[in-house]
Amino acid sequence: MLKTVFITICLFYLPGVFAKQSIIFINPGHADTNVTGPFWFEVSQLMQNAAKDFDLDLTIHYANRNHIEMKSLVTKAIKAKPDMLILVDEKSVLTQQLLSLSPVPTPIYFLLNSPSKQELKLMSDHGINVAGSVVPDNKQAGQLLANKLIEKSQQAANIFAINGDYTTHAALDREQGLKQSVASNTSANITANTVANWSTKQAYRQSLGFFRHQPTINIVWAANDAIALGAIAALDELNKRKNVVVGAINWPLRAVAEKIDVTIGGHVTLGALAIVNVHDLLNNY
């Protein structure tokens, strides 16, 4: 009789023991492809595949490039009390929000854009548990892309640089890498530069004007593939494509790779790596 009661009690508590570990990811992008390309959508796809492999309960919410919506989603996610919250701190928007909400009981893992060392210390002082981060070396990516484009051009490099934005760490570091490459190469110079907000449409419109007024441009350095595709569309329209080498950072899985001459990537896979790291953190590996 005692054995029967003991077994019944154990079975009653088993569901709680084997509950899936929960993760919420606030994706700053869109749930599908858009003018900035499919990058964030594909980051989510790879994260979902990784979460499935580890039997993790991953919930993804999309901010649709709206920072006000992103902050609202973060507040709701913290109230949901997941085992881990994965955030992308674009333009340091979330750093200030988290500090205003502190202490935050939910551990935070940063993906692709992380607060600075000073900001991380401030968050720690305010009782915010930053469990870790995975961030690419964007400076190296920007420099490597420029080096490869200059090498492929095989002539004096007149570079048209199209950056992503004016404020994110990713954009600024990629641009710094480009400038380091140009500074170390006497045959290279930045003939023109602009910002396209990671958008194919903006890159297309801006490129038309620059290509018309700067005929010596023979290299396009693009901060992401969506920008590169916009520049290529402008070159095609002006019948100048064969005269210009185009390169980009980020190669999302759906990018029309054959249209872009040089791609430096791997960033799209970092979301999946974040899931692997979070799994290890949650299980004390």
Over residues 211-269, the pLDDT tens digits come to 999 999 999 999 999 999 999 999 999 999 999 999 999 875 554 567 899 999 888 99
The CATH class given to the 138-265 domain equals alpha beta
* CB-count exposure of residue 81 (10 Å: 0-12, 13-18, 19+): exposed
User: 3-class DSSP state for residue 160?
Assistant: strand
Question: How far is it between the farthest Cα atoms of the chain?
Answer: 91
How far apart (Å, rounded) are the C-alpha atoms in residues 77 and 83?
A: 11
How far apart (Å, rounded) are the C-alpha atoms in residues 231 and 225?
A: 10
Please give the pLDDT value at position 32: 82
Per-residue pLDDT at 110 exceeds 80:
yes
How far apart (Å, rounded) are the C-alpha atoms in residues 262 and 182?
A: 17
Please give the pLDDT value at position 48: 98
Per-residue pLDDT at 161 exceeds 90:
yes
CATH assignment of 14-136+269-282? 3.40.50.2300
Please give the pLDDT value at position 266: 87
Q: Where in the chain is the domain with CATH 3.40.50.2300?
A: 14-136+269-282, 138-265
Over residues 4-30, the pLDDT tens digits come to 444 333 434 444 456 799 999 999 999
Q: If you write DSSP's letter for every residue of 209-234 in order, what string do you get? A: HHHHH-TT--EEEESSHHHHHHHHHH
CA distances from 200 to 35, 52, 146, 197, 239 (A): 5, 32, 20, 9, 18
Look up residue 72 and give its amino acid.
S
How far apart (Å, rounded) are the C-alpha atoms in residues 12 and 6?
A: 10
Mean pLDDT lowest among 14-18, 74-78, 120-124, 236-240: 14-18
CB within 8 A of 164, min separation 6: which ones? Answer: 170, 171, 174, 195, 196, 197, 198, 223, 224, 227
CB 228 within 8 A of CB 222: yes
Per-residue pLDDT at 152 exceeds 80:
yes
- Mean pLDDT to the nearest integer, 163-169: 92
Q: Which comes out higher in pLDDT, residue 12 or 66?
A: 66
What letter would DSSP give residue 257?
G
Q: Give the pair of three-digit tokens for residue 76.
A: 């709701």
User: 3-class DSSP state for residue 163?
Assistant: strand
How far apart (Å, rounded) are the C-alpha atoms in residues 26 and 6?
A: 43
Please give the pLDDT value at position 19: 77
Q: Which residue has the tokens 């340091």?
A: 92
The chain-wide mean pLDDT, for the chain, equals 90
- Mean pLDDT to the nearest integer, 137-162: 97
Over residues 128-139, the pLDDT tens digits come to 999 999 999 999
Please give the pLDDT value at position 103: 82
